[in-house]
Each structure stands twice: as structure tokens, then as C-alpha cells.
Structure 1
Amino acid sequence: MTPAIKLLQQKKIAHQVHEYNHDPAAASYGLEAAEKMGVSPEQVFKTLVAAVDGKQLVVAILPVDQQLSLKKIAKAAKGKKAAMADPAQVERTTGYVLGGVSPLGQKKGLPTFIHHSAKALEQVYVSAGKRGLEIQLAPGDLQGLTRAEFAEITG
């Protein structure tokens, strides 16, 4: 049981957990998740962590088939520039290993931005905190639990 699943159970949020056999050789963990669960990549969201202006860590939640725009995530976070965060710092701050970072149940609450396309979906899939484990939930619940803003963060 991951911290993400525990949080959903504590808050009594409707969700489903999906498990699949993760292949460590997969080129894209997110696309692998979509394929193995038989859902559209537009519904499966990856969780990335960026450093804005060299100090502030922020979480970006975006469809697995899209690329994060560092310019747009910096702008959303009201900063000047962004870079992908140091992997060791991501693991320390979130409590999750790379490839299995969940936006839910992180050790430290970080400013979070969800790609605006999630608003149009009934359900989204995000990492449950472990490779091969995904959580299905309503985008509004994801936004509420992470206190996220919807934003245009791809490009």
C-alpha cells in the first residue's frame, strides 16, 4: 500500500487501483501503462518535478504522450525559468522513486500544475507511487487533493 493509495482511502475519495506487469526495458513508462491498461494515452498522466528559478520545486502532471514545456511551467509557477529537478532531490522531496512518482501522498506538498486537458475528462490515471501501479480518479479529486492549478504546461 503506497502513501497515495492510503491518502485516497483516508479521504474516502472514489478511485480504482490498476496493476500491470511493468517492463524495466520500456522506453516510456507512461505509454507502457496506457498500453497495458488498454486506455488512451490522453487519459494517463505522468508526474514530473521541475525546479523553477533554481530553487522552487513544482510538480507538473501531464498526458504521457506530451512533453513538458519548461518555459510554460516556469510561467505557471510565476518564475522566469525552469529545469528538470535533480533526481535525488525529487526522490527525497516526494518520497517516491523516479518512474513511480505519484502526485498524491508526497512527503512535502509542492505547488502543482495539471495540464488543462484533464478538465475535459471524466477519469484520469496517475502513478500510485510504484512502477506498474496506477490510480484512476476524477480530475477534480486530483486537483483538490494536490491543491493544483489547471494550466497549459506542454509545448
Structure 2
Amino acid sequence: MTPAIKALERAKVNFSVLSYEHDARSAAYGEEAAEQLGLDAESVFKTLLANLDGHRLVVAIVPVSAKLDLKALARAAGARKASMADPADAERATGYIVGGISPLGQKKRLATFIDDSCQRLSQMHVSGGRRGLEICLAPEDLVVLTRATVAPLLR
């Protein structure tokens, strides 16, 4: 039971948990999840952490089949500049390890931004809080639970 699953249970939203055997040699965590679980890569989202203006961490959630546009993230957040966060900072802020960072149940609540492609889906998949664990839920539930801003974030 991960903090992400506990958060969903507390919120009483509908969700399901999917698991697969993570290959320790793989660093393409989201793509691996989509492939191993037979999911459309556009419905599997990765949780990325970025640094705004060099001092504020935020969460960006985008499909694993796409690339985060850091300029679009900065625009959506009202910042001048965004850069990818140091992995150690991401792990420290969220309480999860890279490849298993869930947008739910993080140690510290961070401003969250979700790519607007989620609005075309009835269900989306995000990390369940460890490598090899995915959560399936409605995009609108994720938006509410993370207090996210939905915006175009892709290159």
C-alpha cells in the first residue's frame, strides 16, 4: 500500500491498480508500463518535476508518448523559466523514487500541471508510487485531488 493508494482510498474515488514486473535495466518507466500492461501510451502519463525560476519545484504530468515543453510549463505557471529538477530534489520533495513518482500522496504538496490531452480521455494511468505499479482513474479526479491546472504542456 503506497501513499498514493491511501490518498485515493481516503478521497473515496473510483480507481484501479495495475502491476507488472519492472525490468531493473529499463529507465523508460512510463513506456515500459504502457508496453507491459498493454495500454495506449497516450493514456499513460509520467510525473515529472521541474524547477521554476531556479527556486520553486512543481509537478508536470504528461503522456509518456510525448515530451514536456518547459516553456509551456513556465507560461502555465506564470514563471519566466522552467528546467527539469534534479532527481535527488524530486525524490526528497515527493517521498518517491524516480520511475515511481506518483502525483498523489507526495510528502510535500507542490503546484501541479497536467497536460490538456487528459481531457480527451475517460481514464488515465499514473504511477502508483513505485516502479511496476500504475493507477487508473478519471482525469477529473486527478485534477481535483492534486488541485492541478490543466494546460497545454507538450512540444
1:91-106 matches, within 5 Å, as 91-106=91-106
2:140 alignment counterpart: 140
Letter in 1 for 2:120: A
Letter in 1 for 2:141: D
Q: Aligned to 2:141, what secondary structure does the other structure show?
A: helix
| TM superposition shift of 1:125 | 0.3
1:76-95 matches, within 5 Å, as 76-95=76-95
Letter in 1 for 2:117: S
The alignment of Structure 1 onto Structure 2 pairs a total of residues equal to 155
**TM-score normalised by L of structure 1:** 0.98
1:115 alignment counterpart: 115
Return the alpha-carbon distance in structure 2 between the equivalents of residues 10 and 52 of structure 1.
Answer: 31
| TM superposition shift of 1:99 | 0.7
Q: Which runs of 5+ in 2 are unaligned?
A: none
8 Å CA contact retained: 2:126, 2:136:
yes
Letter in 2 for 1:19: S
Letter in 1 for 2:75: K
Return the alpha-carbon distance in structure 1 between the equivalents of residues 98 and 26 of structure 2.
Answer: 14
1:57 alignment counterpart: 57
Cα RMSD of the aligned pairs, angstroms, is: 0.7
Runs of 4+ in 1 over 3 A off after TM superposition: none
**TM-score normalised by L of structure 2:** 0.98
Return the alpha-carbon distance in structure 1 between the equivalents of residues 24 and 145 of structure 2.
Answer: 30
Letter in 2 for 1:46: K
